[in-house]
Each structure stands twice: as structure tokens, then as C-alpha cells.
Amino acid sequence: MPELPDLEGYRSYFSRRLPGVGIEVVAVGIPLVVRAPKDEFIAALAGSVFGQVGRRGKFLLFSLESGDCIAVHPMLSGRFQYCRPEEKRRAKTCWVLALANGYELRYFDDRLMGKVYLVKGGAFEAVPRFGEMGPDALAEELTEEVFRERLKRFRGQIKSVVLNETCVAGIGNAYADEILFAAGLHPYRKRTELTAEDEGRLYRAIRSVLSDAAAIVSERMEAEGLPVDEYRDHLKVHRRGGQPCPNCGSSITEITAGQRITNFCRRCQR
């Protein structure tokens, strides 16, 4: 699943290529993922010009000079192609934008779980749960003080709290493991058991882990092009069950519960 660093990589990649570029032709092959009538989606985009590309939480936001916006939540398997028209299309390509610069922007989704919204005139309140999200995990307004106040609203296990987008937006399962490892916090520890020092370490881990990963992903996308799968080889614990902890050398634990894999070090994250 694309998480904040992956989507920040997309944002950086498209920000270098799309602003000021016109959309000449719109083709919708699989309307299921588009949360707008097909004809309305095509009419709003055809002839439009891209503005800035933004991101909030796990939404990638393609603004248009018309004032409208394409808000994409890729969910588990939504991905993009930016290529010449002659390049082979991926299976389950949902929509294609033929651009004035000779390229195509394509969205494909193997599981068809992603959601693509046409946001008219900045009316993001029409996007389900968009207004319920907490501050973006890398937003300037998410100061340590604000973060501590938001934490007080939750009482569950700390990994579940970190994953809850009404607390902080943009963190998924893989980077939750990485953040808690960097903070030295056991994923199943209750939020109410955290000390002020624990909260401070958690806040700093969120900022450092995500910003460092976003830089790595952005650099690789720029050098290698858009990936079919997420870059995960820089992660230290997630999906590394049974391997030695990079800090202490003991075996990394892997637990699967509710279709969610959790990895942590029992020695470093007591």
C-alpha cells in the first residue's frame, strides 16, 4: 500500500512534470474507481491545465487551473504510469490522460480498490472522511505540542493510534513499524502508559522516519521512474521477521493479526 513517503515521492515527481501542462484527451476504461459520473469526469478534465500537485495524508491532489482538483486515494494497489503513448498499458488501467507534452498520465489498480474524486471548486467536504483527518504527519502545524494534545484523545495500543488518521494523517502499517522501532516503543503498549519522554520520542520518530524515507523514495523515483511496487528495501524492521535487529542483533519478531503484519524488536522495544 502506498504510504506517506511513497505519495510524497509521487508528488515530487509529478510536481516537476505536470504544472502548466494541458490535458487534451480523457479516457475512462474502468469507471468503478472514479467517484463521479464518467461524462462529468471527462468534461471537467478535457481541455484543463494542471496546477500544483499536492498531498494530504494518503491523498494525492492534482490541482487544475480551473479551480477543480483530482483527489486520488490509491488504497492497496493504485499506481501511476507517466509515459509515451506507445508504451504498453498495464492491466486494470482505469483512466488515461493524454497530455499536451506528448505524454500520458495513467492510473491502474489491480484490485480496483482505489478512489478517485473530482473535487469541484475546492469542495473537499464532498470527499468522504477527508475532513475527519488529523494534521498531516509532516505538516508544519503538527508541532510537538499539538501532537501531544491529539494523543490524549486515544486510549488504545500505540500502533493502532499511530495508524488512526483522525489522530495524524498519512501513516500506514509499514512505516508505523519503522516509527515505533525508531522511538523504542512496543507496538502493543497502551497509549495511556506512555510517559512524556515516550511521547517526545514518538513525535521525533514520526518526523525523522517519514521525512528521511520521503527523500529516499523521491530520489529513486526521479532516477528510476515510477515503480510498480513500493520501495521497501530501506526499511529496518517491517517485513524482516526472523532477521537480526539492526540495533542489537536479536531476532526481529513478526506477528500477524487481523491481516496486519507487525514487526518489532522485543529487546529494543520493551
Rounded to two decimals, the pTM is 0.95
**What pLDDT, in 10s, does the model give residues 135-155?**
999 999 999 999 999 999 999
Q: What is the average per-residue pLDDT within 245-256?
A: 97
**Number of neighbouring beta carbons within 10 Å of residue 38:** 12
pLDDT higher than 90, residue 258: no
Contact indicator for 136, 56 with CB cutoff of 8 Å: yes
Q: Where are the domains positioned within the chain? A: 4-126, 144-264
Active site annotation includes 3: yes
Q: What is the average per-residue pLDDT within 97-107?
A: 98
Tell me the HSE value of 224 on the side-chain side, using a 13 A CA sphere: 13
User: Residue 11's pLDDT is what?
Assistant: 98
User: Residue 127's pLDDT is what?
Assistant: 96
Q: Which of 58, 67, 52, 47 is nearest to 16 (CA)?
A: 52
Cα–Cα distance between 66 and 48 in angstroms, integer? 7
Active site annotation includes 153: no
Cα–Cα distance between 265 and 245 in angstroms, integer? 7
Contact indicator for 45, 70 with CB cutoff of 8 Å: yes
User: Residue 202's pLDDT is what?
Assistant: 98
Q: What is the average per-residue pLDDT within 26-45?
A: 97
Catalytic residue (one of 38, 111, 260, 266): 260
pLDDT higher than 90, residue 259: no
Q: Which fold has domain 144-264?
A: Helicase, Ruva Protein; domain 3 (1.10.8)
Active site annotation includes 219: no
Buried b (16+ CB within 10 A) or exposed e, 167-196: bbbbbbbbbbbbbbbbbebbbbbebeebee
Catalytic residue (one of 58, 92, 159, 240): 58
Using the 8-state DSSP alphabet, how is residue 163 labeled?
H
Q: What is the average per-residue pLDDT within 226-242?
A: 95
Q: What is the average per-residue pLDDT within 157-174?
A: 97
Mean pLDDT of the chain: 97
CA 238 to chain centroid, in Å, comes to: 16
Active site annotation includes 236: no
Cell of 76: 492497496
User: Residue 212's pLDDT is what?
Assistant: 98
Contact indicator for 116, 72 with CB cutoff of 8 Å: yes
User: Residue 248's pLDDT is what?
Assistant: 97
**What pLDDT, in 10s, does the model give residues 180-190?**
999 999 999 99
Q: Quickly list DSSP for 87-129.
A: SPPPTTEEEEEEETTS-EEEEEETT---EEEEEGGG-GGGSTT
User: Residue 51's pLDDT is what?
Assistant: 98
Contact indicator for 132, 142 with CB cutoff of 8 Å: no
Q: Which fold has domain 4-126?
A: N-terminal domain of MutM-like DNA repair proteins (3.20.190)
Give the SS3 label for residue 177. helix
Q: How confident is the model at residue 242 (pLDDT cuts 50, 70, 90)?
A: very high
Using the 8-state DSSP alphabet, how is residue 176 labeled?
H
**What pLDDT, in 10s, does the model give residues 54-91?**
999 999 999 999 999 999 999 999 999 999 999 999 99
Stated as kind and residue range, the H or E segment containing 4 is helix 4-15
Residues of the chain with pLDDT > 90, as a percent, come to: 98
pLDDT higher than 90, residue 257: no
Cell of 56: 494530504
